[in-house]
Homo-oligomer: A and B are copies of this chain.
Amino acid sequence: MADKRYTTEFFLTAAEVNSQREMPLSRLVTTIIDTATAHANKLGIGFDRMISEGISWVLSRLTIDIAESPSVNRTYRMTTWIENVNRLFSDRNFEMTDAETGRIVIRAHSTWMAVNMSTRRPGDLTPIWKGFDMVDGAPSGIDNGGKLLPLSGSDFEMSYRFAVSDIDVNRHVTTRRYIDLITDLWPLETYDSMRISRFEVAFKHEARYGETATASRMAHAESPETATAQIAVADTPCCIARLHFSER
């Protein structure tokens, strides 16, 4: 039987980090997605197997608790496992440890949907799970986060037109570009004094080449270190995020 838990190890080089000598949020999110993809491939439930059933994995919701920001010239281990699965959704969890200290630096929870590739409507995960006994059942250990609602106002917004370098193999905007646009809603000085300690994102709609997006943010009245951010094309939100900043 395939391993219920899957682990990859990586060394964070100077070329990969941001001005604060830390792993950029967009890279953390893509590492989470890549680790999920590698594990799914190993279990035989990767994109190839999905396509033979006419369905595809789509990341719908991701919540990350960042206890320590991963920093330059250190080795980290990312472990993932499947918490549960039903006909429409699968929950997958992540734990990232500092390889030297053994401390858990990040915990994350993700929800993946099956999408029918012809209709672009929700697909059925039942066929790929039949005969498999791979679900670990262990929860993420974090609060998976409440519903993310579209912004109704904003403290700050900016406009961006999706260009060639933002487009992936499916002709949609990459996750990296969404996350970088959200990161860029705050000035460099914010990141010098604060760090993102929690990040939640819901993917709602796929944007395409040449569309102009509005990226906006609004701090929460009751807790100003928490904010909602949104990338929208016309009036359609493509993704909605909630960020919590902590003092360094």
Which of A84-92, A129-137, A149-157, A163-171 touches B?
A163-171
- Expressed in whole angstroms, the Cα–Cα distance for A105 and B77 within the complex equals 34
A209→B183 contact, CB < 8 A: no
Contact, CB under 8 Å: A184 / B169: no
Question: In the bound complex, how far is the Cα of B184 from the Cα of A15, in angstroms?
Answer: 22
Residues on the B chain within 8 Å of A186, using CB: 164
- Answer whether residue A245 sits at the interface, using C-beta atoms and an 8 A cutoff: no
Does B209 contact A180, Cβ atoms closer than 8 Å?
no
A141 at interface by CB-CB < 8 Å: no
- Stretch in A1-9, A30-38, A117-125 touching the partner: A30-38
Q: Mark A8-20, 1 if CB is under 8 A from B, else 0.
A: 0000011101110
Q: Residue A169 contacts which of B18, B33, B37, B47 (CB distance < 8 angstroms)?
A: B18
Q: Does A198 contact B (CB under 8 A)?
A: no
A21→B164 contact, CB < 8 A: no
Interchain CA distance A183-B162 in the complex, whole Å: 12
Contact check, B164 vs A188: say whether CB atoms are below 8 A apart. yes
Note all chain B residues with C-beta closer than 8 A to A19: 164, 167-169, 171, 209
Q: Is the CB of B165 within 8 A of A14?
A: no
Bound-state CA distance A122–B26 (Å) is 35
Closest to A163 in B: B184
A72 at interface, CB cutoff 8 A: yes
Contact in complex: B184, A209 (CB < 8 Å)? no
Question: With A30-B15, A47-B14, A171-B19 known to touch, is A184 a contact of B165 (CB < 8 Å)?
Answer: yes
Please name all residues of chain B whose beta carbon is closer than 8 Å to the beta carbon of A163 when the two chains form the complex. 180, 183-184
A139 beta carbon closer than 8 Å to chain B: no
A210 at the B interface (CB under 8 A): yes
The distance in angstroms between the C-alpha atoms of A72 and B163, with both chains bound, is 21
> In the complex where A15-B37, A30-B15 touch, is A188 in contact with B167 (Cβ < 8 A)?
yes
* A187 CB–B CB distance under 8 Å: yes
